[in-house]
């Protein structure tokens, strides 16, 4: 009887220890998950995105909100790694929320939207967005984008890059206004802060790169810097040679993000 009792006691001790180890493992696994916030004014989109993300073991959806103000508040009060932000939201749009999150938190904003309007793309990147992705991507693409952003990479898919390229080639400046369905919070030109190693370039090359990042054409840059269009073209050629980039769109992205290669 004593032997039997001893076995039972040991069994209980073993079981308790096993549960303790399993609990510790579960907590460690939870700590390793990428904590994601979903911000979208469409409840159907929010719930759908939550279902998609929770199907991947590497993510933990820590919250979902319906506007930029709620997104900023949540991120300041909770541990969030990546915030998925729609562009057009009431009270505070995704671009402005990105700007606040970048300035006041360590959260990495990723624009995930149905809008590929070129008026939003560069401004979102200038505001600090780590990526700009369309919602019609398959779940695996969205998963990879979130993981890339979490690992300090920038993500722009081809269709978005094409929008930027078209915009820059036409010389349209996207930094003056942002159209939203809510009262716009961003109406002034955005300071274009560079994240590159400026020691690699001359002062004039940096001036040209800054204007390219603002969306100015060669003619507009020449007028602004009081130089000829040919001189602007020469500076661009020099910049491309130094960076191994291929066109002005890549110069703009490089100037804003510091990366010569973008995940797609």
Provide the percentage of residues in the chain whose pLDDT is more than 70.
Answer: 70
Q: What mean pLDDT do residues 11-19 have?
A: 51
Give me the pLDDT at residue 102, please.
Answer: 95
Least confident piece of the model among 38-42, 49-53, 112-116: 112-116
Q: How many residues does the chain have?
A: 264
pLDDT tens, position by position, 219-249: 999 999 999 999 999 999 999 998 888 888 8
pLDDT tens, position by position, 131-145: 888 888 899 999 999
Which of the pair, 258 or 40, is modelled with greater confidence?
Answer: 40
Tell me the domain boundaries of the chain: 33-168, 192-264
pLDDT tier at 10 (50, 70, 90 boundaries)?
A: very low
Contacts of 172 (CB under 8 A, 6+ apart): 118, 215
**pLDDT at position 20 over 90:** no
Contacts of 245 (CB under 8 A, 6+ apart): 239, 251, 254, 260
pLDDT tier at 123 (50, 70, 90 boundaries)?
A: confident
CB burial string 219-251: b at 16+ within 10 A, e below: ebbbeebebeeebbeebbeebeeebebeebbbb
Does the 33-168 domain belong in CATH 3.40.50.720? no
For 192-264, which CATH class? mainly alpha
- Rounded Cα distance between 57 and 38, Å, is 17
Q: Which residue carries 């040919």 as its tokens?
A: 230
**pLDDT at position 8 over 90:** no
- Rounded Cα distance between 174 and 13, Å, is 66
**65 DSSP β-pair partners:** 39
Find, among 179, 55, 49, the residue nearest to 63 by Cα. 49
pLDDT tens, position by position, 81-110: 999 999 989 999 999 999 999 999 999 999
**pLDDT at position 182 over 70:** no
What are the residue ranges of helices labelled H in 85-228?
94-104, 118-127, 139-150, 158-170, 203-213, 218-225
**CB contact at 8 A, 157 and 264:** yes
Which of the pair, 263 or 77, is modelled with greater confidence?
Answer: 77
């Amino acid at each position: 009887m004593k032997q039997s009792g001893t076995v039972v006691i040991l069994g209980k001790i073993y079981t308790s220890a096993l549960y303790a180890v399993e609990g510790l493992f579960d907590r460690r696994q939870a700590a390793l998950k990428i904590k994601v916030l979903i911000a979208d004014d469409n409840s159907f989109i929010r719930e759908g995105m939550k279902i998609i993300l929770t199907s991947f073991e590497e993510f933990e959806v820590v919250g979902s909100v319906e506007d930029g103000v709620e997104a900023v508040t949540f991120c300041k009060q909770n541990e969030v790694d990546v915030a998925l932000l729609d562009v057009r939201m009431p009270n505070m749009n995704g671009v402005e929320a990105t700007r606040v999150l970048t300035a006041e938190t360590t959260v990495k904003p990723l624009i995930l939207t149905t809008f590929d309007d070129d008026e939003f793309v560069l401004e979102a990147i200038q505001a600090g967005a780590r990526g700009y992705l369309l919602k019609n991507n398959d779940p695996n693409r969205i998963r990879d984008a979130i993981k890339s952003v979490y690992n300090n990479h920038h993500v722009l898919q081809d269709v978005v890059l094409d929008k930027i390229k078209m915009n820059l080639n036409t010389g349209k400046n996207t930094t003056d206004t942002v159209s939203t369905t809510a009262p716009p919070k961003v109406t002034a030109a955005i300071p274009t802060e560079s994240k590159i190693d400026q020691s690699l370039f001359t002062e004039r090359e940096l001036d040209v790169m800054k204007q390219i990042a603002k969306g100015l054409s060669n003619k507009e840059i020449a007028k602004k810097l009081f130089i000829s269009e040919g001189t602007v073209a020469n500076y661009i050629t020099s910049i491309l040679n130094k960076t191994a980039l291929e066109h002005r769109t890549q110069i703009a992205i490089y100037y804003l993000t510091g990366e010569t290669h973008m995940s797609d």
